[in-house]
């Protein structure tokens, strides 16, 4: 059932490229670079494009939409969205004129849900189909194609993405995705010095085969695994009546996923791990 929460918040989309430090960039790529690489491998979207869009749309992860609702890409809620939605004031462009309007945006239980949904949003949208022929290394083509396809109303959207990618060498993560995908040697000195810390963190997190899966995603995959999770959640819910359940499992080569831990997360962001 669709839930709509009205909040009179102000979201600036798209955002200025000024007002952040290199430390902000490093923190952002350390926290989310591995997700961008995974999405690039799975969907053949440039990791640099994913990072730049999230960085720009979420004001490097500090916007109200990102912090409170885990929406890093400014994706709006349309009729085909069966998740939660929130009404927010946002800045847009109409005939090259900046206006502020109230729009309905998707919200997510976790940041990972947002990044995954962004890739699925592009992969399933007819408007973006031609972009996938460009491959995962042509970030300039993707940036211009996203603007032509109407992803954002800002007339300078493509230029801002390209400037971000080239200023901070986000294309390093495009190369990293290819190297990881084809199991090639990774030489840290070949990446920009400002990205090496983030790439080291990214590689460490990529080695951890943990996935964030919601209860509905486990249906029809493993009755026994689902039963085990439901049993654990039922016991925890008595002590922690939270609004949203997020299940963390290790994916393996076996037919059934291997449950390692379950985290219960409220929409307000308070976590209880077991």
Greatest CA span in the chain, whole angstroms?
Answer: 56
Is residue 241 domain-shared with residue 120, that is, in the same domain? no
Is residue 87 domain-shared with residue 174, that is, in the same domain? yes
pLDDT in tens, the chain (274 residues): 444 443 334 344 333 445 899 999 999 999 999 999 999 999 999 999 999 999 999 999 999 999 999 999 988 887 778 788 888 766 555 555 655 566 789 989 999 999 999 999 999 989 999 999 999 999 999 999 999 999 988 889 999 999 999 999 999 999 999 999 998 999 999 999 999 999 999 999 987 654 444 444 444 444 444 454 455 455 544 544 444 444 444 444 445 555 544 444 433 333 333 3
pTM, rounded to two decimals: 0.68
Residues of the domain holding 225: 210-273
Is residue 182 domain-shared with residue 47, that is, in the same domain? yes
Phi, psi of 181 (to 5 degrees): -60, -40
- Dihedral Cα 196, 202, 205, 207, nearest 10 deg: -90
- Domain edge (last residue) among 206, 223, 257: 206
């Amino acid at each position: 059932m669709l839930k709509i929460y009205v909040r009179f918040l102000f979201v600036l989309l798209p955002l200025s490229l000024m007002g952040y430090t290199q430390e902000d960039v490093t923190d952002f790529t350390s926290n989310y670079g591995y997700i961008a690489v995974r999405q690039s491998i799975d969907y053949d979207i440039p990791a640099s494009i994913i990072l730049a869009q999230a960085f720009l749309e979420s004001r490097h992860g500090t916007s109200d939409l990102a912090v409170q609702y885990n929406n890093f890409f400014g994706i709006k809620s349309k009729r085909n969205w069966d998740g939660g939605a929130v009404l927010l004031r946002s800045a847009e462009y109409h005939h090259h004129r900046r206006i502020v309007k109230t729009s309905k945006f998707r919200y997510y239980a976790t940041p990972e849900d947002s990044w995954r949904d962004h890739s699925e949003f592009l992969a399933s949208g007819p408007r973006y189909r031609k972009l996938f022929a460009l491959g995962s290394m042509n970030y300039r083509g993707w940036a211009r194609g996203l603007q032509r396809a109407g992803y954002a109303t800002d007339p300078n959207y493509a230029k801002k993405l390209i400037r971000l990618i080239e200023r901070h060498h986000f294309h390093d993560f495009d190369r990293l995705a290819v190297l990881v995908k084809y199991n090639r040697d990774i030489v840290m000195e070949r990446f920009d010095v400002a990205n090496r810390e983030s790439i080291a963190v990214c590689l460490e997190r990529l080695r951890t085969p943990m996935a964030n899966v919601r209860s509905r995603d486990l249906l029809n995959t493993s009755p026994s695994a689902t039963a085990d999770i439901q049993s654990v959640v039922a016991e925890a819910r008595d002590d922690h009546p939270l609004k949203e359940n997020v299940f963390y499992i290790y994916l393996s080569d076996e037919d059934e996923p291997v449950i390692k831990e379950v985290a219960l997360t409220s929409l307000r962001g308070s976590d209880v791990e077991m």
